[in-house]
Amino acid sequence: MLRIAVQSKGRLYDETMELLSEAGIKLTAMKRTLLVPSRNFPVELLFLRDDDIPESVASGTSDIGIVGLNEVLEKGKNVEIIRDLGFSKCRLALAIPQKHQYNGIEWFNGKKIATSYPRILGDFLKKNNITADIHEISGSVEIAPGIGLADAIFDIVSSGSTLVSNNLVEVESVLASEAVLIGNSKELSKEKEDILNELLFRIEAVKAAESKKYVLMNVPRAKLDDVVAILPGIKSPTILPLADESWCSVHTVIQEKNFWEISEKLKSAGAEGILVLNIEKMVP
Ligand code: PRT
Ligand code: ZN
């Protein structure tokens, strides 16, 4: 049985559960107890506050964990990043009141900065030879300058709207973060290692499918070469006959981000009835 530490509630929860579910891991009735085993895969989930996940993994209480990179770096525990998971993307940034003129990082010399991330901020300031007063607070960091508690803040930013509504402006982006899968350096038993490898294989299949679409279209046989030349398929596209022998059906997989550009070219090359489908998993 492999134990995975996950956030019990909060911003990481939904997508963590979705990823595990897409990897085929079903839980026994989710009563939101602390430790929930899967009913079809040899893992159990330990539900924790995100702050406690790095320590739980470092100490070996959990074998692996899913948590924000920001939390991993701030806690400074002895854990390894196994892979990026691509969700809960955000950044840790320095922000100052809009009314100030900012002309470079020296602005922060002698200033008081409120943050919940004193370690990451301390390292950043040191690297840039800035001497500032780090004021650690655990929540509502963005209101600190407005109430005279600090001159600036160092906090998580996603859309930036929290900064705007507190009359702050981002001036230095320090760390790009996202959810990561972490493990510890302790050697896993053969049994746990096999489970982890199977889990990673499944995560790989889910992630590989995420950015891709299955595309099918009808193409006049006479235009087939032109259409195939446009398609950046995984290998070569599948070509199936249609009842009308002068036409065929072409199936392939493309990167979603390329879809609009390619679909224009396909239409002008003669493709019709282009269908785009989601792919659930891609097993290499
Ligand atoms: O209770 P627990 O300790 O488990 O949770 P928590 O309250 O400490 O963390 P939680 O659930 O708020 O966030 C968990 C993780 O989500 C963080 O550690 C980040 O890795 C990630 N994440 C992604 C974010 C955001 N996006 C985010 N926007 N964490 C916080 N925010 C905050 C941001 O600071 C701002 O105050 O959300 C607010 C809205 O952001 P804007 O920029 O979109 O306005
Ligand atoms: Zn937390």
Distance between CA 259 and CA 284 in Å, rounded? 22
Residue 211 — pLDDT band, cuts 50, 70, 90? confident
How remote is the CA of residue 139 from the centroid of ligand 1, in Å?
Answer: 10
Q: What pLDDT is attached to residue 3?
A: 98
Residues with CB under 6 A from ligand 1: 7, 10-12, 49-51, 68, 70-71, 88, 90, 142, 155-162, 177
Q: Whose CA is nearest to atom 39 of ligand 1?
A: 162
Can you tell me the mean pLDDT for 117-121? 98
Residue 32 has pLDDT above 80, yes or no: no
Q: What pLDDT is attached to residue 236?
A: 78
Q: What pLDDT is attached to residue 283?
A: 87
Q: What pLDDT is attached to residue 261?
A: 86
Can you tell me the mean pLDDT for 247-265? 90
Q: What pLDDT is attached to residue 67?
A: 98
How many Å separate Cα 167 from the centre of its chain? 28
Residue 222 — pLDDT band, cuts 50, 70, 90? very high
Residue 30 has pLDDT above 80, yes or no: no
Q: What pLDDT is attached to residue 233?
A: 59
Ligand nearest to the CA of 68: 1
Residue 28 — pLDDT band, cuts 50, 70, 90? confident
Q: Which of 72-81, 125-134, 249-258, 270-279 has the lowest mean pLDDT?
A: 249-258
Q: What pLDDT is attached to residue 176?
A: 98
The pTM of the whole model exceeds 0.75? yes
How remote is the CA of residue 50 from the centroid of ligand 2, in Å?
Answer: 5
Q: What pLDDT is attached to residue 200?
A: 97
75 versus 27: the higher-pLDDT residue is: 75
Q: Whose CA is nearest to atom 31 of ligand 1?
A: 156
Q: Which of 25-39, 96-110, 159-173, 265-279 has the lowest mean pLDDT?
A: 25-39
Q: Report the mean per-residue pLDDT for the chain.
A: 95
Residue 8 — pLDDT band, cuts 50, 70, 90? very high
How remote is the CA of residue 210 from the centroid of ligand 2, in Å?
Answer: 28
Among the atoms of ligand 1, which is closest to the Cα of residue 71? 18
Sign of the dihedral defined by the CA atoms of residues 213, 214, 219, 224, in that order:
positive
Can you tell me the mean pLDDT for 140-168? 97
Q: Whose CA is nearest to atom 17 of ligand 1?
A: 68
How remote is the CA of residue 15 from the centroid of ligand 1, in Å?
Answer: 13
